[in-house]
Amino acid sequence: MIRVLWFALKLAVLIALATWLADRPGAVAIDWLGYRIETSVGILLAAVVLLVGLTALSYRAWRFLRRSPRSMSQSLQASKRKRGYKALTQGMVAVAAGEADEAARHARRADSLLEEPPLTMLLSAQAAQLKGDEEAAKRYFAAMLENPETRFLGLRGLLTQALRDGDQQQALDYVRQAHDMRPGTPWVLTSLFDLSERCGDLDTAERSLTEAAKAKALPAPEASRKRAVILLEKARAAAHASETLVYARAANKLAPDLVPGAVLLARQEIAAGKKRQAAKVLERAWAVGPHPELAAPYLETQPDGDGLERLKRLGQLTAKQPDHPESHLVLARAALEARLWGEARRHIKAAAGPEGLEGTPRDSVCRLMAELEEQENGDSALARDWLTRSARALKDPAWVCTECGAVAIVWSARCGACESFDALAWQTPPQVAPALTHDGGAAALEMEPAPAPPNPAAS
């Protein structure tokens, strides 16, 4: 608006100047191409000024006309982009809401309006996933691999699809490519660890744990514990005893409380003639977490002796945890073998906890009592009573999966039921008691809550 007023003002000044000049006295004559023009000097000057003014005006008009198609197309483009982004946003909202058809419709519209393949392809792939059209989703993700900008996103999508198909080797291949592109990305490192371990590539699994700890993708203690488990797996898989020993030592250094690791290392040290070393490993493991599987290899660290000798040795193993129930149980068994009835009874009672044998002693306590009554007094009736009690007693600790609750006979790096890594913990399994059905027929299984720990405030 201001520009128009300014232009009108300039034109008015020009006209005024031309009129003023035309009124000036003086004459001029021009002979040109057979024409003769006679006029005053004022008119001539006014004519020249007007001609210059008109030329400038027409130049402006020409420039405006030349520019307008471009600015018109620019505004059209802007409006198209705006509608495209709106369709994209609506598509994402539809994906979040789980509306597959709506998402696909917006994806098509965004694709036709926007020249942004990274965004529209991802939306199209998500819409296809939502519709359950796995093949179309794979096609979109695979197309994203072509463009360096979308390659990483495409790999992530294809990885998810491969995991959904249960194709772990293919998933590992995708995650390796993603790792080459962005080696410090947390999800890449944790997926690389998980998949390489599942596929048996333990070297890559170990390396990815180190990288994950460095990139803070895993807390340092968790990464270190997982590394110990991987090293134990490597020790088990090693072809030569010397390699097994190296890996088992490294695993034990990282996690002295990992019982299967301590047992494997102790046996390797014994085989290598280093019984003193083996005994130290087992004593350290007992100090951080008493476990019955540590007792047998400990007895192998010294030459054979009689029952009393064995009881004394186990006293050394349990020295750092003298009040722990597992310590009392292992000593009670050794005392029974040595036929030291009083000593055996004392340890069994201590293993039963603060309530003693009158409370709810666990399975192994009842069984040891049955053995003691039978062997010491020949009292078969009392022994049978204890065996009956053991059937309903609290179960002994076992390898229980902390993820799915499955109970395993032997420890393994992955739960056999749910495949969780390093999920087996030595703890009391859930209580399962046999119960009769209404018709008195087949027995069904029923869960029984574990008894609550004694409440010191109540006593």
Interface pattern 346-385 for Zn ion (x via CB under 5 A): ----------------------------------------
- By CB under 5 A, the residues from 53 to 112 that bind Zn ion are none
Question: How far lies 267's CA from each of 271, 287, 343, 398, in Å?
Answer: 6, 19, 30, 22
Question: What radius of gyration do the chain's Cα atoms show?
Answer: 44
Question: Nearer to Zn ion by C-beta: 238 or 417?
Answer: 417
CA distance 164 to 166: 5
Segment contacting Zn ion by CB under 5 A, of 116-124, 187-195, 408-416, 426-434: 408-416
Instruction: Kindly state the smallest distance separating residue 152's Cβ from Zn ion, in Å.
Output: 32
CA distance 223 to 218: 6
Q: Cβ-count burial of 33 within 10 angstroms (0-12 exposed, 13-18 middle, 19+ buried)?
A: exposed
Question: Nearer to Zn ion by C-beta: 302 or 420?
Answer: 420
Segment contacting Zn ion by CB under 5 A, of 89-97, 200-208, 267-275, 413-421: 413-421
Can residue 408 be called a binding residue for Zn ion (CB under 5 A)?
no
Number of chain positions touching Zn ion (CB under 5 A):
8
- By CB under 5 A, the residues from 414 to 433 that bind Zn ion are 415, 417-418, 420
Q: 């002295």: which residue's tokens?
A: 256
CA distance 232 to 229: 5
- By CB under 5 A, the residues from 225 to 264 that bind Zn ion are none
CA distance 291 to 424: 14
Instruction: Kindly state the smallest distance separating residue 424's Cβ from Zn ion, in Å.
Output: 8
Cβ contact 189:212 at 8 Å: yes
CA distance 397 to 354: 18
CA distance 337 to 150: 70
First-last CA distance in the chain: 93
Can residue 404 be called a binding residue for Zn ion (CB under 5 A)?
yes
CA distance 443 to 171: 44
CA distance 326 to 342: 18
Instruction: Kindly state the smallest distance separating residue 198's Cβ from Zn ion, in Å.
Output: 14
**Residue 431 bridge partners (DSSP):** 448
Q: Say whether 399 sits in a helix, a strand or coil.
A: strand
Question: Nearer to Zn ion by C-beta: 170 or 420?
Answer: 420
CA distance 135 to 161: 9
Instruction: Kindly state the smallest distance separating residue 200's Cβ from Zn ion, in Å.
Output: 20
Question: Nearer to Zn ion by C-beta: 48 or 425?
Answer: 425
Segment contacting Zn ion by CB under 5 A, of 34-42, 84-92, 390-398, 409-417: 409-417
Question: Nearer to Zn ion by C-beta: 175 or 415?
Answer: 415
Instruction: Kindly state the smallest distance separating residue 136's Cβ from Zn ion, in Å.
Output: 34
Instruction: Kindly state the smallest distance separating residue 421's Cβ from Zn ion, in Å.
Output: 10
Instruction: Kindly state the smallest distance separating residue 396's Cβ from Zn ion, in Å.
Output: 19
Question: Nearer to Zn ion by C-beta: 316 or 420?
Answer: 420
Instruction: Kindly state the smallest distance separating residue 288's Cβ from Zn ion, in Å.
Output: 24
Question: Nearer to Zn ion by C-beta: 86 or 395?
Answer: 395
Question: Nearer to Zn ion by C-beta: 100 or 401?
Answer: 401
Instruction: Kindly state the smallest distance separating residue 431's Cβ from Zn ion, in Å.
Output: 18
Can residue 403 be called a binding residue for Zn ion (CB under 5 A)?
yes
Question: Nearer to Zn ion by C-beta: 52 or 404?
Answer: 404
Q: Which of 310, 316, 277, 285 is nearest to 296 (CA)?
A: 310
**E strands, 158-200, where?**
none
| Site for Zn ion, rule CB under 5 A | 401, 403-404, 406, 415, 417-418, 420
